[in-house]
Amino acid sequence: MSHDNNAETAIRDASFGAEEFFQERDGSINIGREAVDRHVEDGHSEQVALLWLGKDGARRELTYGDLKDLSSRFGSVLHDNGLKQGDSVFVLMGRVPELYACALGTLRAGMVFTPLFSAFGPEPIRTRMEIGDANVLVTTASIYKRKVAAWRDQIPSLKLVLIVGDGDVPEGCVALGPALDTASPDFDPVKTKPEDPALIHFTSGTTGKPKGAVHVHNAVIYHAYSGKHALDLQPGSIYWCTADPGWVTGTSYGIIAPLVNRVTMIVDEAEFDLDRWYGTIQREKVEVWYSAPTAIRMMMRAGAEATEPYDFSSLRFLASVGEPLNPEAVVWSEKVFGQPFHDNWWQTETGGIMIANRPGMTVKPGSMGKPMPGINAGIVEREDGTLKELPDNEIGELALRPGWPSMMRAYLHEDARYQKCFVDGWYLSGDLAMRDADGYFWFVGRADDLIKTSGHLIGPFEVESALIEHEAVAEAGVIGIPDETAGEIVKAYVTLNPDYNASDELERAVRGHARKKLGPAVAPREIVFRKTLPKTRSGKIMRRLLKARELGLPEGDISTLETDET
């Protein structure tokens, strides 16, 4: 099969409950309409769609009717400024209500929405805006002045900069607030076609330079389907996705899936804070909670005692994504929340959840669960330009048969790289995994992170999970370093729980614990203690950076690096 045909299979149809969620209209489908107008038409205009919690304690409710009004006005602002269907709108701001109005208004107007982390530095912002041919930027005056003004003129595609918030509007920019006030609230959703581009998401940059994945309006079918069947989103559910829209989870499951499923979603402007989070769950009676291992490990670090003052009885379903979820974390959450975190696996490229511990499934701690109904996943090995599917219990690359609606349609300006992902009718994820005899998938590591030592293949996740079972260990990042005799040896970087101090004695104790759990061939030969581990802004441990630093190699693209303290 030629590469072209392989990529084409990505847009083959599959129903995924489309008929359940959407009535056939005129062949058009628009995410902005499905997320908002449909519910208003069905009489739910007064239902709270978005419950916003400001950093300073403010609390603001926006109904589906409000979202329709605001997103329509935003569409009008774009239109009045001469922008056209297909143009590209970037947002660069914290989690404020305007961000959500912009997202929905952009989609409504048939333009392409690209969210960026507000904490990015000038260079990562600029390169992404260049790659994405940005026509509009929506940001704050402060971010604009500090990070954008100096090079704005060098982005020829950029026609309009909209400024959110009060205060001075920098030269050459337009204040969004007054523009929304005077814009028309009558702006019908553009009749986009299923394959019209809707979203660009940049990958997290964990393994290298971030790629821009393009998604289309038809993706909403899969967002709706997976929101319902992987996260148990039901009309009226109180739902909290803690991810920032700057990475794909915060848009697919922090904007689109919840709204299409007509939930009331919580948006917290603030960053992680233990008491704030626990207090939010209790006060707002959160039912469905979607978070990430890095946050869960921070909760574990604070101990079960910290949860005691709170009532978590509203919680119905807990899910996690972004990194492997250590079995210890699942067991812990059952103890303190009365519910396991349900791990699920997907990527920026897949646009939606592919493998999941779905509601009602038995959770095997440490497993990502099973492929979603309708998703065909396999474990494969490359062999002379073709792929061989591996039997159960063998480690290979996790691959998917393309065909679901939220699959990426391109890597922006990187066609060769895109084509390379498709071989023999499979999409290759770049992750290594294993399927057990019950059909559960187990994450092993990124293909790049696999450690080869004395004839063994070791995935860092297994070693990290064993390490964090030690009472002193909060987080661990494991890499292989070259060794003359063994090929590679396993080295671990570890952060400690409060009340533990780094010492040779503790190092020996942790190493001894790992040897007992994993055996001498797999346990780390060396453990070093660190205050923090290098992570992406979406909270993933950057093992490639641990390795580059260990070996004195170039650090590569570090535009998404969050903590950098060693």
The binding site for ligand ATP (CB under 6 A) comprises 203-208, 210, 247, 321-324, 343-345, 347-348, 368, 429, 431, 443, 446, 538, 540
Q: Which residue's Cβ has the minimum distance to Mg ion?
A: 203
Cβ closer to ligand ATP: 138 or 432?
432
Q: How far is CA 114 from the centre of its chain?
A: 14
- Close Cβ partners of 131 (under 8 Å, ≥ 6 residues apart): 212, 412, 413
In whole angstroms, the minimum distance from the beta carbon of 291 to ligand ATP comes to 12
In whole angstroms, the minimum distance from the beta carbon of 346 to ligand ATP comes to 6
| Partner interacting with residue 251 (select from ligand ATP, Mg ion, none; CB below 5-8 Å by kind) | none
Angle at 276 between CA 497 and CA 139, to 5 degrees: 105
Across-strand partners of 139?
A: 92, 163
CA distance linking residue 275 with residue 210, whole number of Å: 33
In whole angstroms, the minimum distance from the beta carbon of 356 to ligand ATP comes to 9
Task: Kindly write down the DSSP assignment for every residue of 304-367, as one continuous string.
Answer: GGGGTT---TT--EEEE-SS---HHHHHHHHHHHSS-EEEEE--TTT-S--EE--TTSPP-TT-
**Which residue type occupies 78?**
L
Asked whether the beta carbons of 498 and 535 are under 8 A apart, the reply is: no
Size of the site for Mg ion (CB under 5 A): 1
Asked whether the beta carbons of 36 and 71 are under 8 A apart, the reply is: yes
Cβ closer to ligand ATP: 387 or 510?
387
Angle at 47 between CA 20 and CA 359, to 5 degrees: 50
Cβ closer to Mg ion: 135 or 203?
203
In whole angstroms, the minimum distance from the beta carbon of 292 to ligand ATP comes to 9
Cβ closer to ligand ATP: 34 or 343?
343
Site for Mg ion in 333-372 (CB under 5 A): none
In whole angstroms, the minimum distance from the beta carbon of 208 to Mg ion comes to 9
In whole angstroms, the minimum distance from the beta carbon of 241 to ligand ATP comes to 14
| Partner interacting with residue 124 (select from ligand ATP, Mg ion, none; CB below 5-8 Å by kind) | none
In whole angstroms, the minimum distance from the beta carbon of 324 to ligand ATP comes to 4
Among the listed residues 423, 419, 421, 420, the one whose alpha carbon sits nearest the alpha carbon of residue 385:
423
Assigned token pair, 12: 């083959």
| Partner interacting with residue 443 (select from Mg ion, ligand ATP, none; CB below 5-8 Å by kind) | ligand ATP
Q: How far is CA 249 from the centre of its chain?
A: 3
| Partner interacting with residue 322 (select from ligand ATP, Mg ion, none; CB below 5-8 Å by kind) | ligand ATP
Q: How far is CA 173 from the centre of its chain?
A: 31
Task: Kindly write down the DSSP assignment for every residue of 66-91, as one continuous string.
Answer: HHHHHHHHHHHHHHHTT--TT-EEEE
Cβ closer to ligand ATP: 67 or 375?
375
Cβ closer to ligand ATP: 356 or 489?
356
Q: 426 exposed, middle or buried (CB, 10 Å; 0-12, 13-18, 19+)?
A: buried
Q: For 510, phi and psi rounded to 5 degrees?
A: -70, -40
In whole angstroms, the minimum distance from the beta carbon of 434 to Mg ion comes to 19
Site for Mg ion in 169-228 (CB under 5 A): 203
| Partner interacting with residue 406 (select from Mg ion, ligand ATP, none; CB below 5-8 Å by kind) | none
Asked whether the beta carbons of 11 and 409 are under 8 A apart, the reply is: yes
CA distance linking residue 293 with residue 323, whole number of Å: 6
In whole angstroms, the minimum distance from the beta carbon of 538 to ligand ATP comes to 6
CA distance linking residue 364 with residue 2, whole number of Å: 39
Cβ closer to ligand ATP: 33 or 342?
342
The site string for Mg ion over 277-316 (x = CB under 5 A, - otherwise) reads: ----------------------------------------
| Partner interacting with residue 189 (select from ligand ATP, Mg ion, none; CB below 5-8 Å by kind) | none
CA distance linking residue 202 with residue 120, whole number of Å: 12
Helix (H) or strand (E) holding 230: helix 219-231
| Partner interacting with residue 210 (select from Mg ion, ligand ATP, none; CB below 5-8 Å by kind) | ligand ATP
| Partner interacting with residue 440 (select from Mg ion, ligand ATP, none; CB below 5-8 Å by kind) | none
Cβ closer to Mg ion: 39 or 211?
211
Cβ closer to ligand ATP: 71 or 344?
344
What is the number of helices (H) and of strands (E) in the chain? 19, 28
Across-strand partners of 398?
A: 379
Q: For 104, phi and psi rounded to 5 degrees?
A: -70, -35
| Partner interacting with residue 431 (select from Mg ion, ligand ATP, none; CB below 5-8 Å by kind) | ligand ATP
Task: Kindly write down the DSSP assignment for every residue of 443-460, as one continuous string.
Answer: EEEEGGG-EEETTEEE-H
Q: For 401, phi and psi rounded to 5 degrees?
A: -85, 115
In whole angstroms, the minimum distance from the beta carbon of 247 to ligand ATP comes to 6
Cβ closer to ligand ATP: 225 or 443?
443
Question: What is the SS3 string spanning 166-218?
Answer: CCCCCCCCEEHHHHHHHCCCCCCCCCCCCCCEEEEEECCCCCCCCCEEEEECC
In whole angstroms, the minimum distance from the beta carbon of 127 to ligand ATP comes to 13
Cβ closer to ligand ATP: 71 or 204?
204
What is the rounded (10 degree) CA torsion for 201, 206, 211, 215?
A: -30
Cβ closer to Mg ion: 30 or 536?
536
Cβ closer to Mg ion: 237 or 350?
350
| Partner interacting with residue 227 (select from ligand ATP, Mg ion, none; CB below 5-8 Å by kind) | none
In whole angstroms, the minimum distance from the beta carbon of 509 to Mg ion comes to 35
In whole angstroms, the minimum distance from the beta carbon of 433 to ligand ATP comes to 8
- Site for Mg ion, rule CB under 5 A: 203
